[in-house]
């Protein structure tokens, strides 16, 4: 049940992601290119504004509990395209959790695989709603260092938001990349 309580704490994540930006600029982030292992994850996909995230996370958690699916890592968000340049209703994204490869589940849950091995990575420190600033810094760094984006943005929410102040939350941000 502790895992379920931890997962439920991510409902607070929805409030942060759906909220307005604080107006403070993000501190400079250290960007590195690193190799990551592919993994299988269980998710719900969504097309629409990020303000829908609270409902999508709630449905994800309910469906995983109902189907007795155990997460094997922190919650992730996968954002297709550039959510900052799209119309909010056209944004495509998903929320989910890594699971064991043998996991079997039913719709509306989907089984997907993160296949991207080379990523430009940084740790965002602060409220979830400010992660687009960190993503922007990563993209600028990539362009300046001869890399091109090669897949969707992934955010790994590595801290329990009910146990930390919004200003100290840490989120791993990965952007798949290739050398130009």
Q: String of b and e for 71-109 (b: at least 16 CB within 10 Å)?
A: bbebbbbbbeeebeeeeeeebebbbbbbbeeebebeeeb
pLDDT class of 167 with cuts at 50, 70, 90: confident
Domain that holds residue 119: 2-179
> Could you give the number of structural domains in the chain?
1
Residue 49's CATH number:
3.20.80.10
pLDDT tens digit sequence for 111-125: 999 999 999 999 999
pLDDT at 83 over 80: no
pLDDT of residue 162: 76
Q: ω before 108 within 30° of 0 (cis)? A: yes
| Lowest-pLDDT choice from 13-22, 83-92, 101-110, 157-166 | 13-22
Model pLDDT for residues 2-47, shown as the tens digit of each residue: 333 333 333 334 434 443 334 455 568 999 999 999 999 999 999 9
């Amino acid at each position: 049940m502790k895992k379920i309580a931890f997962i439920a704490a991510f409902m607070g994540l929805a409030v942060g992601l759906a909220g307005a930006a604080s107006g403070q600029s993000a501190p400079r982030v250290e960007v590195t290119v690193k190799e990551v292992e592919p993994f299988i994850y269980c998710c719900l996909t969504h097309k629409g504004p990020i303000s829908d995230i609270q409902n999508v996370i709630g449905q994800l958690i309910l469906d995983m509990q109902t189907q007795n699916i155990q997460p094997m890592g922190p919650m992730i968000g996968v954002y297709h395209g550039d959510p900052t340049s799209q119309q909010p209703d056209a944004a495509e994204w998903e929320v989910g959790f890594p699971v064991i490869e043998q996991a079997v589940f039913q719709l509306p849950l989907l089984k997907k695989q993160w296949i991207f091995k080379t990523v430009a990575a940084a740790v965002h420190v602060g409220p979830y709603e400010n992660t687009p600033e960190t993503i922007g810094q990563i993209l600028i760094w990539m362009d300046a260092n001869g890399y091109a984006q090669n897949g969707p943005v992934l955010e790994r929410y590595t801290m329990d938001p009910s146990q930390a102040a919004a200003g100290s939350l840490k989120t791993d941000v990965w952007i798949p990349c290739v050398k130009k």
